[in-house]
Amino acid sequence: MSGQNDDYIYDEASGEWRPASEIAAEAAKAAEVRDASGNVLADGDSVVLVKDLKVKGAGQTLKQGTVIRSIRLTDNPEEVDCRHDTIKGLVLRTEFVRKR
């Protein structure tokens, strides 16, 4: 025995029993939220828009270079929740933002 006390979980994708620690490490890596440039984003970060975005329902356009402060990560790693002075409940796709 290796002396390791690790639970094993059946991985349906590979059809193998794998250590739980390996699966948890892969899930953590997959859950990283990255901006358009590949930088890792975290709650509270400030981001800059990389292109003009028409905001549905608000009737306005957010211009490239607009700074959005204090983002919050969502369950979807491709979206961030944020606030803007004139728009409540704004959710932006990470492909359109760059970490400041």
Other beta carbons within 10 Å of 33: 19
Nearest 5°: CA angle at 97, between 48 and 51? 80
In this prediction, residue 25 carries a pLDDT of: 78
CATH topology for 33-99 is SH3 type barrels. (2.30.30)
pLDDT at 4 over 60: no
Enclosing H/E stretch for 30: helix 20-30
Confidence of residue 98 (pLDDT cuts 50, 70, 90): very high
pTM of the complete model beyond 0.85: no
Given a contact cutoff of 8 angstroms between Cβ atoms, the answer to whether 99 and 69 are in contact is: no
Question: Where are the domain boundaries for CATH 2.30.30.40 in the chain?
Answer: 33-99
